[in-house]
Amino acid sequence: MELAVPIIVAIISAATPLLLAASGELVVERAGVLNLGIEGMMLMGAMAGFAVTLLTGSHIAGLAAAAAAGMAMALVFAFLTLTLSANQVASGLALTIFGIGLSALIGSAYVGQPVAALPKLDVAGLSDLPVIGPLLFRHDFLIYFSIAMVPVLWWYLNRTRAGLRLRAVGESAEAAHALGHPVIAIRYGACLFGGLMAGLGGAFLSLSYTPMWAESMTAGRGWIALALVVFAAWRPWRLLVGAYLFGGVGIFQLHAQGAWGLPSELFSMLPYVATILVLTVISAGAARSRTFGAPAALGRPFRPSG
């Protein structure tokens, strides 16, 4: 089937921004912090990445700027919720609204300008192979990076001392604190990583997916990334599956439209129906076993005593 290759390539693109942003949020939530500001951080990343690439002509500078912008946003959130112990849900929502507005304000100068897309990998011989070339050897850096981060995160969370500490903080901040772990510092680090990944997710949109800057161009992907973390039960490998499943259904429905004479609205809701279905199945299974997988201290502020 000759259509299969372009469909899979499109699915990879559609899944990448979700995977990047959700990977960051997964770490944030494993540390016990709920940051609802992904959309805002992504938009700031998208805008900063685009603007800096446009001004300097360097994609590396653009990606660095996107990561920095996401981290700067995350720092605001971390300061509010970790240092000042503000409510995480309210602060996260505020961060999203703030990010939408600020990115639109600063980005207004860059609307309507084209920029060169992130360069694709080009390995002599390999990239030109039929089927395998476009599937494996013709993507840009962020796509490889997003996939590579999955095993890295798994390893970090499950096989390293630092990962164990992070999970301990997310399960019981008090216990981790009693053991002498710097709860607030670890959570700061997690938040910054979340911002970095969300910023890169946004940059993927403005530098690769649709190489342009437009206000609110994330169009709700930050929220989907948030849902994917739950969907994945806070596990990196499941996150990979979830992001590709969600991206896949979204692309599939475009190709399937009109195929069986079904109304287009039905296809448009498919990705969301799939999400609900899988969530239902997972949580039903989880209820029978032990836990749903949510970090026990998720969303609970911690104030060190003494």
Partner 1 sequence: MSSSKIIVPEVSTRGISRRSLLIGAGAAALVLASGSMAFAQDPLKIGFVYVGPIGDHGYSYSHDQARQAVEKEFGDRVKVTFVENVKEGPDSERVIRQLASEGNELIFATSFGFMQPTIRVARQFPKAKFEHATGYMKAPNVGIYNGRFHEGRAVHGTVAGHMSKSGVIGYVASFPIPEVIMGINAFTLAAQKVNPDIKVKVIWLNTWYDPGKEADAAKALIDGGADVIVQHVDSPAAMQVAESRGAYAFGQASDMSRFAPNAHLSAIVYDWGPYYIERVNKVLDGTWEPEDKWWGLKEGLIQISPYNDKVPEDVQQAADAVKNGIIDGSLHPFTGPIKDQKGVERVPAGETISDADLLKIDWLVEGVQS
119 forms part of the interface with partner 1 (CB under 8 A) = no
- Given a contact cutoff of 8 angstroms between Cβ atoms, the answer to whether 228 and 166 are in contact is no
181 C-beta neighbours (distance < 10 Å), count: 17
Looking at the Cβ atoms of 124 and 265, the one nearer to partner 1 is 265
97 forms part of the interface with partner 1 (CB under 8 A) = yes
Looking at the Cβ atoms of 80 and 251, the one nearer to partner 1 is 251
- Nearest distance in Å: CB 90, partner 1: 14
273 forms part of the interface with partner 1 (CB under 8 A) = no
Q: Which two tokens stand for residue 286?
A: 């989880």
Identify the sign of the CA torsion 272, 232, 150, 69: positive
Looking at the Cβ atoms of 263 and 306, the one nearer to partner 1 is 263
Query: How many CA atoms are closer than 13 Å to the CA of 162, on its beta-carbon side?
Result: 11
69 forms part of the interface with partner 1 (CB under 8 A) = no
- Given 57, 255, 285, 303, the residue binding partner 1 (CB under 8 A): 255
Can you tell me whether residue 140 is helix, strand or coil?
strand
127 forms part of the interface with partner 1 (CB under 8 A) = no
From its phi and psi, is residue 236 left (phi > 0), alpha (psi between -120 and 50) or beta? alpha
- Given 28, 44, 82, 100, the residue binding partner 1 (CB under 8 A): 100
CA distance 164 to 14: 32
Looking at the Cβ atoms of 188 and 204, the one nearer to partner 1 is 204
131 forms part of the interface with partner 1 (CB under 8 A) = no
Looking at the Cβ atoms of 171 and 215, the one nearer to partner 1 is 215
- Given a contact cutoff of 8 angstroms between Cβ atoms, the answer to whether 25 and 195 are in contact is no
CA distance 269 to 250: 9
Chain residues binding partner 1 by CB under 8 A are 3, 6-7, 10, 13-14, 17, 97, 100-101, 104-105, 107-108, 111-114, 117, 205, 209-212, 214-217, 219-221, 250-251, 254-255, 257-258, 264-265, 267-268
